[in-house]
């Protein structure tokens, strides 16, 4: 029998059947290794804020403006640079505005076409022609390739290139061409996108963000606790379903479910109106000031309370079913004295702000009423049967995970659970102990089992783990001692609302602890970084996103408007290009309309986290290491051709 290496080389020879083919590929790969590395863009905690997210994608956290500055420097006014940047972000919309005031559109087209071509040349210069060619818009691929590969010193072709521009304008294709080349610039400015968790909840457009990500050229996703919550709901986990609906109701975003995903909430609404129609539901006020006087808000209040009570019931059922989760302290309905309207927590009695529980049977408080059971049955079928939701969740599964190691950066959303001494905390998952990387890996595997396992119990455990990841004290994506949802609704005493963070957050400046975390994931503490989301950085209070001398970068995006009063800004993004790491502080995004009409960009301030004296090349990256291995394999194939071990396929 042939040895494994010979069999592998024979398979490789199918791809490179001759000495010439193998040699050409070696030359090509060696050349690629010496190109500058592509720009990585890190975003986190997007929380459904589609407009701000879309704008930051378009401007590459200021990368487009920097490219314009590099190309034109002092040869263009600040006003013209701003206008050109807006054109690149919103080409069609910007041209609609320009046409209303510009008297000579032909000249405007000509000037801006030449400018866009210069920017395109600059952003394409760090890539191979092959990679640029694959990114070219189909309708104008040949023309754009001709124009962006033009060499300034070739005067013989000057009239040729000028005629291309003139003809584009004469045959009325200028606007389509400008749109195509603007989108190419956006595409080439960022080579790879990292989403470090929490696409869902709070904002109105997570489904739109998911559509955008599914069409993005290169992306990975580290799941946040809100993402895993939606994944659990899509898998039919009832605790997750109830939480998803409750949060959508709380933020006035039920239309995400109804319009975005086509999930019918009418039975729930009818039930809520019937049971809580006379209830003011004053503890369930919405975080949606723009709907303060609407009838829709009145309905949402009742839906909010109805689904919250259902949530507390189904969560109690999960806690009873999954004894290994050790969450008995979070089953609260049996601790209520329904006659007195009080609850006893940690041997202290508290008065409830709302004691109207018409569907709760005090003798069996976690049992759903007949109507509640029917509603949950229908909702479970709706979530499982929603094609668009299932498509989005499959995308999260294929492109995502609980963490990622990429180019000497460790990416995760929440925290690595630690004990009080800063050591990795041992966590029990279905009777076995895990910590650090092993904990992440086993939880990740159970999430996938919740969708794909054939064994019914294993699949149910996987579904329940998604709920566990959402709110368990030992979950690396939650990282607090409890989720005080019940207390925040029903109790006035602020001490009951406190959610204590995992010790991880107290050790963010402890170099020894952070280095242990990096080593746990196989990284060199001397050059690696942790890129972390989940907890907003309170910049207005003087907090810095750069921790532990630059080893930890907390970049909670702060896109959610709900957080911006706490943080003072719209959070941070991170750019990692061939020159180093650049942290970008964002101001709140006004609107897409303002970005177009007033040319208002998201103003960003930049902090250089690390800067290289020499540019980082493709050969220094993870992809570079893979390419080097391919080169070695091809060199072995070449040797096999030359010594007669493998025969060329001429």
Mean pLDDT for the chain?
A: 91
Question: Which of the given ranges, 130-139, 509-518, 591-600, has the highest pLDDT on average?
Answer: 509-518
Classify residue 86 as exposed, middle or buried by CB count within 10 Å of its CB (0-12, 13-18, 19+): buried
Q: What is the pLDDT of residues 294-330, one digit of tens each?
A: 777 888 999 999 999 999 999 999 999 999 999 999 9
Asked if residue 111 lies in contact with residue 80, where contact means CB atoms within 8 angstroms, the answer is no
What residues form DSSP beta bridges with 532?
412, 554
Angle at 193 between CA 444 and CA 217, to 5 degrees: 105
Do the beta carbons of residue 227 and residue 396 sit within 8 Å? yes
- Name the residue with tokens 């107290």: 506
Q: Tens digit of pLDDT for each residue in 528-570?
A: 999 998 777 766 667 788 899 999 998 875 676 655 555 445 6
| Beta carbons within 10 angstroms of residue 377's beta carbon | 13
User: How far apart are alpha carbons 541 and 538 in whole angstroms?
Assistant: 6
Kindly list the distances between the CA atom of residue 602 and the CA atoms of 82, 582, 586, 588, 625, in Å, as whole numbers in the listed order.
Answer: 12, 16, 6, 7, 36
Reported as a pLDDT band with limits 50, 70 and 90, residue 151 is low
Please write the tens of the pLDDT for every residue from 474-484: 999 999 999 99
Quote the percentage of the chain above a pLDDT of 70. Answer: 94
DSSP 8-class letter at 615: P
- Asked whether the CA dihedral 110, 113, 115, 118 is positive or negative, the reply is negative
Mean pLDDT, range 53-81, rounded to an integer: 91
The alpha carbon of residue 381 and the mean position of all alpha carbons in its chain are separated, in whole angstroms, by: 27
Strands (E), 465-590: 529-532, 546-547, 552-554, 572-577, 580-586
Whether 1 and 155 have beta carbons less than 8 Å apart is answered as no
**Which of 209-218, 452-461, 463-472, 592-601 is predicted with the least confidence, judged by mean pLDDT?**
592-601
Tell which phi-psi region holds residue 201, choosing left (phi > 0), alpha (psi between -120 and 50) or beta: left
Under 8 Å between Cβ of 249 and 221: no
Q: The tokens of 549 are what?
A: 């001398």
Q: Tell me which of 563 and 403 has the higher pLDDT.
A: 403
Q: Greater confidence, 88 or 534?
A: 88
Strands (E), 277-388: 336-337, 342-345, 348-351
Cα–Cα dist 569/236, whole Å: 37
Cβ distance 646 to 637 under 8 Å?
Answer: yes
pLDDT at position 570 is 65
Tokens, residue 534: 């989940």
Angle between helices 266-276 and 295-321 (to 10 degrees): 100
Q: List, in order, residues 6 or more apart from 375 with CB less than 8 Å away.
A: 267, 268, 271, 310
pLDDT of residue 594: 79
Q: pLDDT tier at 1 (50, 70, 90 boundaries)? A: very low
Q: Is the pLDDT of residue 606 over 90?
A: no
pTM: 0.92
Give the range among 57-71, 329-343, 568-582 with minimum mean pLDDT: 568-582
Domain-by-domain residue ranges, the chain? 4-35+622-642, 40-196+541-616, 224-335+355-385+423-485
Residue 535's pLDDT is 73
Count CB-CB contacts under 10 A for residue 323: 9
With tokens 């060619």, the residue in question is 133
Question: Above 90 in pLDDT, residue 357?
Answer: yes
């Amino acid at each position: 029998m042939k040895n494994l290496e010979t069999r592998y080389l024979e398979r490789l020879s199918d791809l490179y059947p001759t000495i010439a083919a193998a040699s050409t590929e070696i030359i090509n790969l060696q050349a690629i290794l010496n190109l500058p590395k592509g720009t990585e863009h890190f975003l986190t905690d997007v929380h459904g804020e589609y407009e701000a997210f879309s704008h930051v994608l378009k401007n590459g956290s200021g990368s487009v403006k920097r490219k314009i500055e590099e190309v034109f420097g002092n040869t263009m006014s600040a006003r013209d640079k701003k206008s050109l940047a807006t054109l690149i972000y919103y080409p069609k919309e910007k041209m609609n505005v320009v046409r209303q005031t510009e008297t000579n559109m032909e000249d405007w087209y000509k000037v801006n076409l030449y400018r866009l071509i210069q920017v395109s040349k600059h952003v394409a210069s760090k890539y191979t022609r092959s990679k640029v060619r694959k990114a070219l818009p189909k309708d104008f691929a040949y023309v754009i390739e001709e124009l962006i590969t033009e060499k300034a010193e070739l005067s013989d072709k000057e009239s040729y290139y000028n005629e291309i521009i003139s003809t584009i304008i004469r045959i009325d294709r200028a606007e389509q061409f400008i749109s195509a080349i603007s989108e190419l610039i956006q595409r080439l400015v960022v080579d790879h996108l990292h989403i470090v968790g929490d696409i869902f909840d709070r904002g109105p457009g997570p489904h739109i963000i998911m559509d955008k990500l599914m069409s993005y050229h290169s992306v990975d996703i580290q799941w946040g606790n809100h993402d895993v919550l939606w994944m659990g709901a899509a898998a039919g986990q009832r605790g997750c379903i109830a939480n998803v609906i409750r949060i959508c109701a709380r933020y006035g975003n039920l239309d995400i479910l109804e319009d975005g995903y086509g999930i019918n909430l009418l039975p729930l609404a009818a039930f809520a109106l019937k049971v809580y129609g006379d209830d003011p539901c004053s503890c369930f006020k919405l975080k949606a000031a723009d709907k303060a006087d609407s009838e829709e808000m009145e309905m949402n209040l009742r839906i909010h309370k109805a689904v919250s009570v259902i949530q507390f019931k189904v969560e109690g059922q999960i806690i009873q079913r999954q004894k290994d989760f050790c969450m008995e302290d979070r089953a609260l309905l049996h601790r209520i004295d329904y006659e007195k309207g009080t609850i006893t927590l940690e041997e202290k009695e508290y008065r409830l702000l709302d004691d109207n529980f018409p569907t709760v049977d005090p003798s069996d408080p976690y049992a759903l009423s007949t109507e509640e059971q029917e509603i949950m049955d229908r909702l479970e079928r709706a979530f499982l049967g929603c094609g668009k939701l299932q498509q989005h969740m499959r995308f999260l599964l294929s492109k995502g995970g609980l963490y990622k190691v990429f180019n000497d950066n460790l990416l995760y959303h929440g925290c690595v659970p630690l004990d009080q001494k800063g050591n990795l905390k041992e966590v029990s998952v279905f009777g076995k102990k895990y910590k650090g990387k092993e904990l992440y890996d086993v939880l990740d595997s159970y999430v996938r089992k919740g969708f794909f396992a054939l064994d019914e119990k294993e699949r149910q455990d996987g579904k329940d783990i998604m709920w566990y990841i959402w709110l368990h004290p030992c979950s690396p994506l939650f990282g607090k001692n409890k989720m005080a949802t019940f207390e925040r609704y029903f109790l006035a005493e602020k001490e009951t609302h406190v959610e204590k963070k995992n010790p991880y957050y107290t050790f963010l400046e402890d170099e020894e602890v952070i280095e242990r975390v990096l080593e746990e994931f196989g990284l060199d503490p001397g050059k690696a970084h942790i890129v972390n989301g989940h907890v907003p950085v309170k910049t207005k209070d003087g907090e810095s996103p750069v921790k532990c001398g630059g080893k930890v970068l907390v970049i909670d995006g702060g896109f959610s408007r709900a957080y911006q009063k706490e943080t003072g800004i719209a959070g941070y993004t991170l750019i990692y290009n061939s020159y180093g790491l650049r942290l970008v502080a964002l101001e709140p995004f006004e609107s897409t309309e303002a970005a177009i009409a007033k040319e208002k960009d998201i103003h960003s301030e930049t902090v250089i986290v690390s800067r290289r004296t020499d540019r980082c090349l493709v050969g220094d990256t993870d992809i570079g290491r893979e390419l080097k291995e391919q080169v070695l394999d091809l060199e072995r194939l070449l040797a096999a051709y030359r010594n007669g071990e493998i025969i060329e396929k001429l």
